[in-house]
Amino acid sequence: MPRNMKALGIASLVTLFIASTIAIAHGEGEDTGSWRDLFGAFDIMVSASFLHSIGAILLVGGLLHIHSRLKAASPDDEDGDGDEDEAIDAIIGGELSNRLIYVGVVMNMIGGTARLFEPGHPSLLETFANRWVTIMLVKHSFILIMCGAAIYATLPKGTTAARLLSTRMALASVVVIGALGALAGVVGPA
């Protein structure tokens, strides 16, 4: 992956993290000013949901792609010429999977952060008082694990086995995230 793309991804994640900390403590009826009005507009809410959903789909697609590439890469240097790392980097480095993963992470984070600012979003300070908030907090903890594992799988350092394990951990997190998302949909935010 080009160096400037990694820098852009890291800068985007840091910016989104800082922005999300602003939204952490808001609740119903608070801050009815311009931010809530802006993010409460129908087209902004649709765009945020679209980015969040499409980002997740791209991320999972990238994980499946890198998993298949890592599975196909030989973990041993069978001919003894010492070029195993070069072959693996040629398969993985700069490939579609890396781009899908990074674009998916950034799109998902932008859409998710925008959704934090929507009117009526429960306060994260209600973690143990509101089941939905607790479920969403656990779900997003798994999202952070998934993103970290997915990004590690794209790095040029590390063995094929470590990258494969990281990819599998990210894919397992996707299953947990889906289950928690379904549970949160049943419980509802109120």
Would you state the pLDDT for residue 1? 46
Between 161 and 44, whose confidence is greater?
161
Q: What is the mean pLDDT of the chain?
A: 75
Structure token digits, residue 118 = 């929507």
- By the 8 A CB rule, do 139 and 108 touch? no
- By the 8 A CB rule, do 54 and 107 touch? yes
**Residue 105 exposure: Cα atoms within 13 Å on the Cβ side:** 30
**How far apart (Å, rounded) are the C-alpha atoms in residues 8 and 15?**
10
The single residue listed with the structure tokens 């950034």 is 106
Does 75 score more than 70 pLDDT? no
- By the 8 A CB rule, do 189 and 132 touch? yes
Pick from 147, 146, 142, 163: nearest CA to 95? 163
The region of weakest confidence among 20-29, 72-81, 135-144 is 20-29
- By the 8 A CB rule, do 106 and 12 touch? yes
Percent of the chain with pLDDT over 70: 67
With bands split at pLDDT 50, 70 and 90, how would you rate the model's confidence at 77? very low
Would you state the pLDDT for residue 115? 77
| pLDDT tens-digit map of 104-132 | 989 988 888 877 777 777 776 777 788 88
Locate the domains of the chain by residue range.
3-7+31-187
- pTM attached to this predicted model: 0.69
| pLDDT tens-digit map of 58-72 | 999 999 998 888 888
